[in-house]
Structure 1
Amino acid sequence: MFIYLFLFPFQYIYVKKLLKLNKFLHSCNINMLQLVLC
């Protein structure tokens, strides 16, 4: 349990970075689609 509490902040940061990256990739995909459609 103690080890999990110690690792939790790192998991939280990792998940936040992952979500940020996912958002970035998603917006990039939308931009690419717009370029193709225009």
Structure 2
Amino acid sequence: MGCSSGKLCLYSQCAAARREEALKQRKELSQELVNLRGELA
């Protein structure tokens, strides 16, 4: 992405990619939580 991983990236393209990745992870975690709740029920 062209930015150093240790610093906050302010480039919009990079920020959009990070946001997209975060949303994807959130969706996966939400689905995992639903699955775990189903196993416990």
For normalisation by structure 2, the TM-score amounts to 0.75
Runs of 4+ in 1 over 3 A off after TM superposition: none
Structure showing greater relative contact order (alpha-carbon pairs closer than 8 Å, 6 or more residues apart): 2
Q: Which runs of 5+ in 1 are unaligned?
A: 1-5
Larger relative helix fraction: 1
Q: Give 1 or 2 for the bigger CA radius of gyration.
A: 1
- Say what the alpha-carbon RMSD is for the aligned residues: 1.2
Between Structure 1 and Structure 2, how many residues are aligned? 32
- Of all paired residues, the percent bearing the same amino acid is 16
SS at the partner of 2:32? helix
For normalisation by structure 1, the TM-score amounts to 0.81
Q: Which runs of 5+ in 2 are unaligned?
A: 1-9
